[in-house]
Amino acid sequence: MRLIDHPSPNFDERTGRRPVSIVVLHYTGMPNAAAALQRLCDPEAKVSAHYVIDEDGTIYRLVPEDKRAWHAGVSFWRGVRDVNARSIGIELVNPGHEFGYREFPTVQIDALLELLRDIAARHEVMPGNYVGHSDIAPQRKEDPGELFPWHRLAAAGFGRWPAWDFTVSQTAPALQPGDRGGAVLELQVALDRIGYGIEGSGTYDPLTEAVVRAFQRHYRQSQVDGVSDAETTSLIHHISTLVSMRRSCSEKSA
């Protein structure tokens, strides 16, 4: 693992005594690595991450893991509102949607997986807590985006992915912004169970649309439109069921 210390002054102390339990992945959204590192180390910018991974696989360590880096902003995941206090933030060098979004090189993802294995040796992070910035802040962020290979991470044990036997339910409703009713409420409850910050109102409002879009960026990357067609609806309930099954197994083994 090519690890270079590149200290950033942008951090503070982790609050409370609860351990690190979330890993948040970002793209830098800047033209190149040099520009990203400069901003993440600029005291006036007031942003940072624990690590930055360049497209050639070089890993820069900006903030010690026992410190609170400033990468998540206003966010939420599984009841955690101060995500910075409970997470490790990793920035992947990529120009993002603003500067020419492109696929993440294999060598970059290989380096990420090596880093995640290293992190997992120090912190207990459940599969469902490897998330993107868009997952924890769906109305503000879209990184690391629909080109990020979440399936590779899940195959290595760092995340969730649909089971091999997943199929689209023939009875799954197609839902869209403006819809109301029990099917929308069930969709919102399932998204909340996965970890998204959403309450069950029964109305397919702008927040629901944003959360569905974030889900699609993670699990149904071929079409990201915020509309819960039959495939998306089926996937949401499928992933929600996987979460419930894991929680049930954890409770039985406790």
Active site residues: 91
> Residues for the chain: how many in total?
254
Q: Which helix (H) or strand (E) holds 211?
A: helix 206-219
Pick from 213, 216, 187: which is nearest to 202 by CA? 187
d(CA 125, CA 116): 10
d(CA 239, CA 228): 14
Pick from 222, 230, 225, 193: which is nearest to 212 by CA? 225
Sheet containing strand 51-53, strands side by side: 3-5, 59-61, 51-53, 87-92, 22-27, 130-132
* R_g over Cα of the chain: 18
d(CA 101, CA 30): 10
d(CA 236, CA 33): 35
d(CA 170, CA 173): 9
